[in-house]
Structure 1
Amino acid sequence: MHRSIDYINILKTNGLLVSYNCGEETDIKGLTYDSNEAAAGTLFVCKGAAFKEQYLKDAAAGGAVIYVSEKLYPDVDIPYIQVNDIRRSMPFLADLFFDSAFKKMRLTGVTGTKGKSTTAYYIKTILDLYEKSVKGPETAISSSIDMYDGLKRYESHITTPESIELFRHFKNAADSGIDFFTMEVSSQALKYNRVDLVNFDIGIFMNISEDHISPIEHPDFEDYFASKLRIFAQTKTALICTDSDHFERIKDAAASSKKVITFGTKPGSDIYGYNIRKIDDEIHFNVKCDRFDREFVLTMPGLFNVENALAAIAAALCYDIPEDIIYDALRVARSKGRMELFSSNDKKVIAIVDYAHNKLSFEKLFESVLAEYPGRRIVTIFGCPGKKALLRRSQLGTLSGKYSDIVYLVPEDPGDEPAELISKEIAGYVTAEGCPYEIFEDRGEAIEKAIMEIRSGAAGSSVLLITGKGDETRQKIGKEYIPCPSDAELVQQFLFLYDKTAVLK
């Protein structure tokens, strides 16, 4: 346990301390920015543009003994530590409180516009199989899908948690005897200091494309790209994809890491993927590197997943995982809500549930579907979030209109913005491509119609692309997250009805 003077000194050393009036020998027993978590001995952090003085009063009532803030609150009767930058301060506080726990594990960070979750889960599947072979524990993960740290497992709300939560997960994992921790690293996490002080044994840069540009995210592409590139400054071994746009700039930034390894489908890549083909429902490809030249197989759909697999292979080789374990793991690897494939018994309905939600992921998805299911009618079911990533509305509307036979527009975390207005804005870009559309208030209604109209004979054999939410079971409406069935659950529900009516007929 550390005392208040330890926190004062770490902030002072790093140029963050402004003033303090607390005692120097106070035992700090807890660290949080959530007033509901405050208990006896808590160091409470006042953060965020929406912070209210009442939160601090509630924390004090719960037992907080000191607060850390950029602003002073003279009406709250507990001592303070004043700082000049609360976001930069948080990682120092968290690292001290949780004893730099990440240093006890091998840490992999994955960033990029597309493929972070699937790559993270490919890596986790490989590492889990390796740990099983040596009687080790399940490995930890922090992703936009879910979190597992040895003690807690839950569905995620955010790609990369705030630093206090993240460092707590590191501590839980280290205390659980976990050796590997794999995490997605968002541009927001890099820009707003959530992963400051964290040193990645491996940092993977998948790709870059225009996304997350809005008044509450990044003002422009340059800010977004520059934020992503920050990962290399805290990475030992950088893995970069030769297929990415802006590769030369990525390569130059990666030079700040101690070692750089390339992967991709371009000749000359250190981990080179080639001879990519689909055989029945499997994707076969060969990989050539300094250790082997052999075939690998994915049973998860999507030709674009080869790039994600190459990243995972590169990471596994850095950790000296045996190639047979890599092969066996990739053959069964899955990522919840990513390229989940469902079909009716008569094969007239192929439904793909995927998290695709930006320009690059839509381009890759349509490219793969057109190659894997030529001649089939395409129905795309999607929406866009409220008040952020605003360019998606034009980009995804245009792409879906270009490649779909019909588009069904649905809510997708509209937040404070009316879902119907978002859909109408997207619809303008869909119709500009000459594609018909319908707007639905409920995702389930759109999925039901897309499936059952094929049963009725109103439409022929189709591929349904249901994107944006994946396996998520909540919709953000207003300020609240409202429970709802996942897209995968809805697809299975209506395919069961489709098959059942076929039997009755």
Structure 2
Amino acid sequence: MSLILNGCILLLKEHHLLTKADIVFDNEITNVTYDSRQAQKDGMFFCKGTHFKEEYLRQAQQNGASTYVSQQEYPDIKGMNALIVNDVQKAMALLGAAFYDYPQNDLFIIAFTGTKGKTTSAYFTRGILQAYTNKKTALFSTIDRIVGPQPQQRFKSSLTTPESLDLFKEMRQAVDNKMTHLVMEVSSQAYLRNRVYGLHYDVGFFLNITPDHIGPNEHPNFANYLHCKLQLLVNSKICVLNANSDHFDEIYQAAKATTQPENIYLFARQGTPGQNIDFIYQSQQATLAQSEFQLQGISDKAKEMNVTGNYELSLAGDFNETNAVAAIIGAGLAGVPYQLAQTAITNVHIPGRMETLKTQHHGTVYVDYAHNYGSMKALLSFLQRQNPHSKMFVVVGSTGNKGVSRREGFGKVLSEYADYAYLTTDDPGFEDPQKIAEEIDSYINHKQVQVQIILDRQRAIQAAITQSHPGDVVVLAGKGEDAYQKIRGLDTPYPNDFNVAQKVISQLE
């Protein structure tokens, strides 16, 4: 992998990003990084971030970097080539793709965006495609990054959509590992931060939209959040939209603005009003162990895909059927027929999603990654329908330094469904977890819900399970299988909610 300096200049000019090029000497670029500690001889270093310091650039130079890309000049740095640009994130995405020789061109890419359901949809889709491609489907998700068939080629994610250099590096690894397809989640932050600038997808899904990720360090308002989400449609060859989403008219208009009608597909629940719907689905049965639904192609182009039929999921919750439908359509657009999709999706397991633990003398425990108002409402309303006479115990926290708007949503959804709420820690970052919990608590109707603030998450889980009784429902929400807590810039080891609950139950019983 390498870059020619003149080629970099031409590429940046083509995209109207270059403001100045100060070339001291010409050389072949053989390394690209934004981490000064990883800079190497003849490397290119990107000066990114609101808290960037000149000392990082000096360290990169000491480690051998010969060129830097920045939005400002550093005149005290001598002996380095300087490419001054008006947007370093866009420049990094373009040059990163070029350095790794455009690996996206060798992958069939299916991308998902939405406030909720991205991870579940991505796992369902990959599960089907794995059977279709003989295990040659990569995955970039909130939980895992899978770039090949070997165990060492699977690792935990730190971001839903990583920085562009990491993204294209991992795509290159996937291609080199003989992967032919890629399923990925695309966050609104990926577009806000230009991590996927210039990247195009074969199929792009818009699952839904509700207020989220709005705060000082994220989107300034809902309009900006929606705008960033819509960019996935602008960059997709085929657009697939959930017609039941809020703000659907705006979503549909965005798709039609850049995509031919024959390349737009709409899906919806049975009975949804509206025209041009290509697929409808209807829940047949949803229990606490599985769900069954029927999918039917309505339009001619939908019928041609041959995905009409009955499907069964090993994942509880009728709210997961929407995600499964999206996955079946996505796989169908990649060429997967009904019989294969029907068999494959039944066996898909999704880490941290609706995992169940039974107890003898206490409530049934459900571990789920639900971490905003929309996903929490879907989860708790389903459990309430399945257990209309049960008391509901909910353990939940909210992240620090991001997703500030979630806190009011948690208070609202707890007031709607919970009997007992245990407010605890969930990746507090640099914020005080006590203040985060108190903010959630301020939105809870205390006439409806009994609230305890227990910041030690393991103790909060222990309290919820211990205080529950047979027939009750205990929900551990937000972290799923996360094996760490993000505290003051560090990933602090944490056993994960499922393991903590298992240990509590074994001690109790």
- The 2-side partners of 1:140 and 1:190 are apart by 21
The residue aligned with 2:77 is 76
**Structure 1 position 437, deviation (Å):** 0.7
CA RMSD of aligned residues (A): 1.6
- The 2-side partners of 1:125 and 1:487 are apart by 24
The residue aligned with 1:312 is 327
Deviations 1:465-490 (A, max 9, x none): 11111111111111222111111111
Pick one of 289, 292, 295 that aligns with 1:287. 295
- The 1-side partners of 2:395 and 2:75 are apart by 53
The residue aligned with 1:364 is 378
Paired letter, 1:315: G
- The 2-side partners of 1:22 and 1:343 are apart by 66
Paired letter, 1:263: F
The residue aligned with 2:210 is 209
Unaligned runs of 5+ in 1: none
Unaligned runs of 5+ in 2: 298-302
Decide whether aligned partners of structure 1 residues 280 and 484 sit closer, same or farther in structure 2, where only a CA change above 3 A counts: closer
Are 1:482 and 2:497 an aligned pair?
no
The residue aligned with 2:406 is 392
Range moving further from structure 2, 279-288 or 421-430: 279-288
**Structure 1 position 370, deviation (Å):** 1.2
**Structure 1 position 373, deviation (Å):** 2.2
8 Å CA contact 1:386–1:422 kept in 2: the answer is yes
TM-score by length of 1: 0.94
Aligned pairs for 1:44-443 within 5 A = 44-77=45-78, 78-132=80-134, 137-150=135-148, 152-255=153-256, 256-258=258-260, 259-267=263-271, 269-278=277-286, 281-289=289-297, 290=303, 291=306, 293-344=308-359, 346=360, 348-443=362-457
SS of alignment partner, residue 39 of structure 1: coil
**Structure 1 position 292, deviation (Å):** 5.2
Paired letter, 2:126: K
Paired letter, 1:337: G
Paired letter, 2:477: T
The residue aligned with 2:39 is 38
Q: Percentage identity across aligned positions?
A: 33
Runs of 4+ that moved beyond 4 A: none
The residue aligned with 1:17 is 18
Range moving further from structure 2, 440-449 or 263-272: 263-272
**Structure 1 position 123, deviation (Å):** 0.4
Paired letter, 1:331: T
Range moving further from structure 2, 17-26 or 209-218: 17-26
Paired letter, 2:326: A
SS of alignment partner, residue 159 of structure 2: coil
Decide whether aligned partners of structure 1 residues 427 and 22 sit closer, same or farther in structure 2, where only a CA change above 3 A counts: same
- The 2-side partners of 1:91 and 1:386 are apart by 27
8 Å CA contact 1:471–1:488 kept in 2: the answer is yes
8 Å CA contact 2:286–2:317 kept in 1: the answer is no
8 Å CA contact 1:398–1:433 kept in 2: the answer is no
Paired letter, 1:15: H
SS of alignment partner, residue 119 of structure 1: helix
SS of alignment partner, residue 216 of structure 2: coil
8 Å CA contact 1:301–1:341 kept in 2: the answer is no
The residue aligned with 2:300 is none
**Structure 1 position 357, deviation (Å):** 1.1
SS of alignment partner, residue 449 of structure 1: helix
Aligned pairs for 1:460-471 within 5 A = 460-471=470-481
Pick one of 443, 464, 474 that aligns with 1:450. 464
- The 2-side partners of 1:292 and 1:31 are apart by 43
8 Å CA contact 1:209–1:245 kept in 2: the answer is yes
TM-score by length of 2: 0.93
- The 2-side partners of 1:24 and 1:319 are apart by 47
- The 2-side partners of 1:275 and 1:340 are apart by 21
8 Å CA contact 1:127–1:139 kept in 2: the answer is yes
Paired letter, 2:505: L
Decide whether aligned partners of structure 1 residues 391 and 302 sit closer, same or farther in structure 2, where only a CA change above 3 A counts: same
